[in-house]
Chains A and B, each alone.
Chain A
Amino acid sequence: MVNLFNYIDRPSAIHRLTGATKLICLLLWSFAAMYTYDTRFLVVLSVTGILLFAVGHIHLSDVSFMLGFTFAFLVINSIAIYLLSPRHGTEIYGTCTFLFGMSGRYAPTAEQLFYHLNYFLKYLASIPIILLFVSTTNPSEFAASLNRIHVPYSIAYAVALALRYIPDVQQQYHEISQAQQARGIEMSRKASLTRRLKSATSILIPLIMSSMEKIEIISNAMELRSFGKNKKRTWYMERRFCAADILCIAACVLLVAAAVALNFINGGRFYNPFI
């Protein structure tokens, strides 16, 4: 079975952090990166994120495929933005500086290019940290850590169970779709759109029916083993916080504080070099 979540088991300082710490840091970091549009700050986040890869013993080759994917996605998005709103930068930064002596609707402006740079940086600031999280967090511990950050355990366990049954569902889908293809079910471009969807349904109906049966059996199995008995539960995979954990969380809190502070300093979410 493919390793769906790209967890790479290599001992490192980041691997040793608890899942809860990593999750809190991920959320704080993402918030900071989402909140601010300050170019300088985004550069700092991006560079730090990439440096952290080395700390986590994750090589660029481990994540190159995912990076490539993201890059392609960003390029497509950027083109879409440029085509639809070639003056978006001007609207944001309030000035309009044509470049290369051109003018017209699609003529490049410094503001627009700067906006695109920021747009890029914004993803560059958050993606390394997500990749790092994905590569260094054991999925079991991730579920345990949700409970640790006070997500109710029923939801935390739903997350764990989803992780548990994804491979089963995937296998089942695969088998059902093979058997239905033999009966002539076609989902490729050759068939019309509604026909494709109806074909998909021929696979989904058996999948859903066996899933509904499964829901019943699994919930019985869990109740028979005391799930839901108490308001709390303990977790085999949970790990204690140590100094490094607290340090990391503190650092990420500072990042958020910096992002908020910059908002006041810049008088808005954008750092504007044009005024």
Chain B
Amino acid sequence: MGDILLTFHNFGFQYNAQSSPTLYDINFTVERGDKILIAGPSGCGKSTLVHCMNGLIPFSYKGEMTGSLTLRGSETAAMSLFDISKHVGTVLQDADAQFVGLTVAEDIAFALENDCVPQAELITRVREVAELVNIAGYLDHAPGELSGGQKQRVSVAGVLVDDVDILIFDEPLANLDPATGKQAVELIDEMQKQTGAAVIIVEHRLEDVLYKSVDRVVLMQEGRIIADMDPDTLLSTDILRDNGIREPLYLSALKYAGVSITPDKHPWNISKIILDEADARKVHNWYCSKDAEAADAPGETLLDVRDVCFSYNDGIPILKNISLSIGRGEMVAIVGTNGAGKSTFAKVVCGFEEALSGTISFAGDDFCSYSIMERAEKIGYVMQNPNQMISKIMIYDEVALGLRTRNVPEDEIRERVEHALKICGLYRFRNWPVSALSYGQKKRVTIASILVLEPRMIILDEPTAGQDFRHYTDIMDFLERLNRDGITIVMITHDMHLMLEYAKRAVVFSDGRIIADDTCSNILTDPEIVAAASLKETSLYELALKCGIDDPRGFVQRFIDYERRTVREARQDG
């Protein structure tokens, strides 16, 4: 038995503003050296559980607690937030909000400054911790000069500086590109081994976290813990799928092939899984039973970009001779690291920024002579966070905004707004305030407010960032329907699943250039491109290799086609 750090016993919690509890009957313990993954769909109570552990409940968010929650033997309700934070460190999802210092060194020192540690000690301690997380070369850098992964390292250092016993990571992978996410998982693993602290990771990207081992997975649903077991056992059940959590892709493939998953096969990680000959044969047979689908012939060219270069005033080139054609009716993913030029490309196309050289044409017209407003009637741009776009109180007004600024007559506005709202499944809510909607619905409002201008193409920046599997599926199925109705869709994304499942083609940006433009299955199985663009190989590829399939790319492609045809269309029709 290890040293027990945290114990929930018949614990429950209800926010003051809410009419029913958010957490019920929570029983679980955290021991020194544990590594626990907490998963569950949005609204299952996992954030509330984290707030209970780090003390924000009851100190910042008021409500009623039942049962008991003890930290190293004392009830947390009797402690102060500051006592708790000496033992429990939290790395928040939003690395920019957590970074409160003007430079890396000041941010790492922050907790110690608040504890009145003398300056000489601050300096040595900051250096030690910075070396531990490998950020010591950046001590005098401002947050704006760091990448997302580096900011996260600073956040980790800022928490480790306190010698905490428990480290909580709240959705650590949400804002990172795939390769950086992989490094983050490695970092978490390393920190746990070096400090011996217990680590709790809250994340719904199960497969990505399980790149390194965890001891237990705690699954939550509707305020209760519905599973608390080792990953091998959990993955051998259907609990994940039944509760709206995505299971690892290789397991889906194995299940389609009729392979039974048992804990002794170590299904938690694709490189650890043990498959016998019979299993491999089943996979092989499944592969052979599916035909390769002919790729759709691309439609006529809609957007044609030739030799576009761009840089900001500082003269550092962001886009270097970009040439790209997108055909009518395509659904394309644009991928690559942060700073590779993906978003800048979209901004140049939409006219937010002006290209230094090169040509952009849309349906044969010279796009460069169009104003921002004129371009928006051809290509709509949807920002990542809907809260950054919504500027009206009422849904109807929000969707109508683009038409009103264009002086469209009010009765035509009504017709077009109602049409857009119907497409987006929001018609019933047309007289509601935007604030009454969920995040996913707000996203649809922003899409509706773009669609109302009747663009032929929309560009979406990270359409599903931070969404759980159910919301992800909702948004993506919706986009796919739009695409089937003839709207060309371009998605800028870090999400390899999204790209693989929904895009037929991917364009890979790296350091201001396009380094690949191919089917998603070809790209995600090409180690060179994967490495150059900080992507992540799909586990399906490794599975295919493991099962001795001679054409792993073909295997990946058939898996996608199968899912698209059978699973997804069944869901969308039902």
Contact = CB atoms under 8 A, between A and B. Distances in A.
Nearest to A205: B391
Contacts of A183: 376, 401-402, 405, 449, 453
A97 interface: no
B405 A186 contact: yes
Contact of A179 (B103, B143, B389, B392): B389
Contact of A224 (B56, B144, B350): B56
B90 interface: yes
Interface stretch (A19-27, A34-42, A227-235, A265-273): A227-235
B525 interface: no
B350 A182 contact: yes
Contact of A227 (B99, B114, B389): B114
A223 B56 contact: yes
Interface string B20-59: 0000000000000000000000000000000000111001
A163 B385 CA distance: 24
Dominant SS at the A interface? helix
B115 interface: yes
B4 interface: no
A147 to B, nearest CB: 10
B158 A225 contact: yes
A169 to B, nearest CB: 11
Given A217-B97, A218-B97, A140 B106 contact: yes
Nearest to B114: A226
Contacts of A205: 390-392
B94 interface: yes
Interface stretch (B116-124, B323-331, B514-522, B550-558): B116-124
Contact of A229 (B59, B82, B390): B82
Contacts of A209: 387, 390
Given A161-B100, A182-B373, A236-B123, A206 B350 contact: no
A12 interface: no
A242 to B, nearest CB: 15
Dominant SS at the B interface? helix
B405 A234 contact: no
A224 B110 CA distance: 11
Name, among B82, B92, B114, the residue most crowded by chain A CB atoms within 10 Å (CB to CB).
B114
Nearest to B393: A205
A181 B406 CA distance: 12
A234 to B, nearest CB: 5
Nearest to B84: A224
Contacts of A186: 405
A178 B352 contact: yes
Nearest to B371: A181
A83 to B, nearest CB: 38
A160 B102 contact: yes
B56 A179 contact: no
Contact of A217 (B94, B103, B116): B94
Given A167-B144, A181-B372, A182-B350, A230 B106 contact: no
A236 B352 contact: no
25 contacts: A160-B102, A164-B100, A168-B144, A180-B389, A182-B372, A183-B449, A184-B376, A202-B401, A206-B389, A210-B385, A214-B97, A218-B97, A220-B92, A221-B92, A224-B54, A224-B55, A225-B85, A226-B85, A226-B115, A234-B112, A234-B113, A235-B113, A236-B105, A236-B109, A238-B119
Interface of A: 1, 139-140, 143, 160-161, 163-164, 167-168, 172, 175-176, 178-186, 201-203, 205-206, 209-210, 213-214, 217-218, 220-230, 232-238
Top 6 nearest A-B pairs by Cβ distance?
A: A184-B405, A182-B376, A178-B352, A226-B114, A236-B109, A202-B391
